[in-house]
């Protein structure tokens, strides 16, 4: 069973252990593949409003952050980023994190959620987000430099939380 809780400072080594290989691969996130651990911590932990971890049998197997998508007049729309450990993929962790993030965003007063950069080749994520009510509301042609496929599109996905 997947349980979710707020990130604690002692979780960082496990979280970095999931982030680093995904960022280094450079296939799904806009972060530079050579991002430093310190910069990754700023992006994933320090900048977002909240960060959570997913656990199975006491082991951290996923993480997500929640923050306003924009400041000021756009702060009623949430934004999240999610990563699941390679060993836990396909086991419902991303689904549990998505459902948790939607409810947490509602609880925090957000009225919608938007993902700004869903790489078009990340078909598993697109399928999951659509299953949870997200629509592709825009496409940035050739908006991502994929390390194997070259320039690929980026989807902007959105759903109401009302």
- How is the chain split into domains, by residue range? 2-160
Q: What is the CATH number of domain 2-160?
A: 3.40.630.30
Provide the pLDDT for residue 83.
97
pLDDT at 48 over 90: no
Q: Residue 38 belongs to what H/E stretch?
A: helix 37-41
Q: What is the mean pLDDT of residues 10-17?
A: 98
Q: What is the mean pLDDT of residues 151-156?
A: 99
Q: What is the mean pLDDT of residues 51-77?
A: 97
The DSSP line for 70-92 is SSGGGTTEEEEEEEE-GGGTTTT
Give the whole-angstrom CA distance, residue 6 versus residue 114. 21
Q: What is the mean pLDDT of residues 81-97?
A: 93
pLDDT at 72 over 90: yes
Q: How confident is the model at residue 52 (pLDDT cuts 50, 70, 90)?
A: very high
Cβ proximity of 138 and 101 under 8 Å = no
Provide the pLDDT for residue 90.
86
Q: In the chain, how long is the greatest CA-to-CA distance?
A: 42
Question: Which position has the token pair 């400072």?
Answer: 9
| Between residues 49 and 119, the one the model is more confident about | 119
Give the whole-angstrom CA distance, residue 155 versus residue 122. 10
Quickly list H helices, 73-139: 93-107, 123-131
């Amino acid at each position: 069973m997947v349980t979710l809780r707020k990130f604690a400072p002692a979780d960082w080594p496990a979280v970095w252990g999931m982030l680093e290989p995904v960022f280094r691969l450079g296939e799904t996130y806009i972060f530079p593949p050579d991002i430093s651990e310190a910069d990754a911590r700023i992006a994933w932990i320090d900048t977002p409003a909240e960060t959570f971890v997913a656990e199975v049998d006491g082991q951290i197997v996923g993480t997500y952050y929640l923050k306003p998508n924009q400041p000021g007049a756009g702060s009623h729309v949430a934004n999240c980023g999610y990563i699941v450990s390679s060993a836990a993929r396909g086991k419902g962790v991303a689904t549990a994190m998505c459902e948790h993030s939607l409810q947490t965003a509602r609880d925090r007063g957000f009225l919608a959620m938007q993902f700004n950069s869903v790489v078009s080749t990340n078909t598993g994520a697109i399928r999951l987000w659509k299953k949870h009510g997200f629509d592709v509301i825009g496409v940035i042609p050739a908006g991502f430099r994929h390390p194997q496929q070259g320039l690929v599109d980026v989807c902007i996905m959105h759903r109401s939380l009302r």
